[in-house]
Chains A and B, each alone.
Chain A
């Protein structure tokens, strides 16, 4: 009875005439970390955004935690949509911490407003999660006083506060400097070690190979290759995968 946390079947998505996703299948088991690699414009972000219906698929089916997000060309609406989004947390490339709220409010307020958590409990959870991402001392700071890496960790604490079944990461470190990137990646690694289910769209190939259980290589809206990090790194089957890995490890490789 091991039902996948996230199940995607034959997912298609077009923007007008542009076909971005052309039949993607993916099962994410509880506790599994899937890293999605691919060039910009390959459709990997769109696939991720379809999972919590920030984009409405054109066809296919998506289920999250046993709940149907999309099927028969119909997307979950109203209460179902809100319930679906509470099941999956998401981290974006842009730093989307709410600038008018202090750090602790960013984490606690959505719990109060959306889960109807009591104020005291929400703050306790927020402080615990801020501690987890190493920012307890910034609880009362305003987002304007934080660095990019700190903001992204606040966003992560905020997503965790909703107690999600899974987390979606849409290139969370693309806007960060190397040091901040390391801070965020380290927290993500801790989460994976704790058994959090995650789909990570990233350009950090080394990190993906290190942390993921499964690597998904996407090109032109299709999964061209999938396997364990060892399979992908040591014996990629597709020419495109080989090329992509070579490009993304070139500088790191030359330094070794």
Chain B
């Protein structure tokens, strides 16, 4: 008996198609979730009670609603009011709305994690409010929020599998189609599962790599890198000048 009983070679085009859809859904869904998350995080940090409450209601609603229910409301439910979305659009929209709520909490934690002393020092230096946000608050908030955000990205990738329920065309949907043709659910779902692992795991590793680099102080922006480069050159000049032209270190 062969180890594999399904003729996988014949399913390669189908799998590639599903894989591409899964990656597209993850990418579009995550970008959407980041935008939603950022906006809601800003709402949640507003001093205005009404605006703040709007942000609060949004996060609480989506945190407490099962994703699958949300997907069904968007895909099946909205047809009731004449809004017909294809499965792919309904899919990334649902993922953006739900993961946006999770990310909003993470982003808010990141922004609030930057101490008041930091922003005060930046303001005292005469930086404009926009510069305080861009130069001091956001870079630190990103570093604080990065690990949890990366976890959400991996979770969102796995969450695309939920779209099997509306025939989203992604990997899991393809798996059910292959299973119905081959009657080999164990083998099919294990193989598909391994493909998900093969995608998720490097993604998580990449996030960990990025995180450790940021922690060690790797410069993020070209300006910062340029300032360091000039400094390195100047210090080297100074070193050779004091050692009488000898090659330093």
Contact = CB atoms under 8 A, between A and B. Distances in A.
B120 A92 contact: yes
Interface hub of A82, A102, A123 (most chain B Cβ within 10 A): A123
Interface string A89-130: 110101010111110110011101110000110111011000
A52 interface: yes
B140 A99 contact: yes
A226 B86 CA distance: 78
Contacts of A155: 121
A158 B124 CA distance: 11
A85 interface: yes
Interface residues of A, dominant DSSP: helix
A114 B127 contact: yes
Contacts, number: 106
A1 interface: no
Nearest to A85: B126
B112 interface: no
A49 to B, nearest CB: 9
Interface size of B as a range: 20 to 34
Interface stretch (B50-58, B163-171, B228-236): B228-236
B124 A114 contact: no
A109 B131 CA distance: 11
A203 interface: no
B227 A119 contact: yes
B117 A92 contact: yes
A101 B224 contact: yes
Contact of A114 (B131, B214, B223, B238): B131
The 9 A-B pairs of least Cβ separation, nearest first, read: A86-B126, A96-B121, A142-B217, A85-B126, A94-B117, A90-B124, A123-B230, A104-B231, A96-B117
Interface of A: 52, 54, 82-86, 88-90, 92, 94, 96, 98-102, 104-105, 108-110, 112-114, 119-120, 122-124, 126-127, 136, 139-140, 142, 144, 155, 158-159, 162
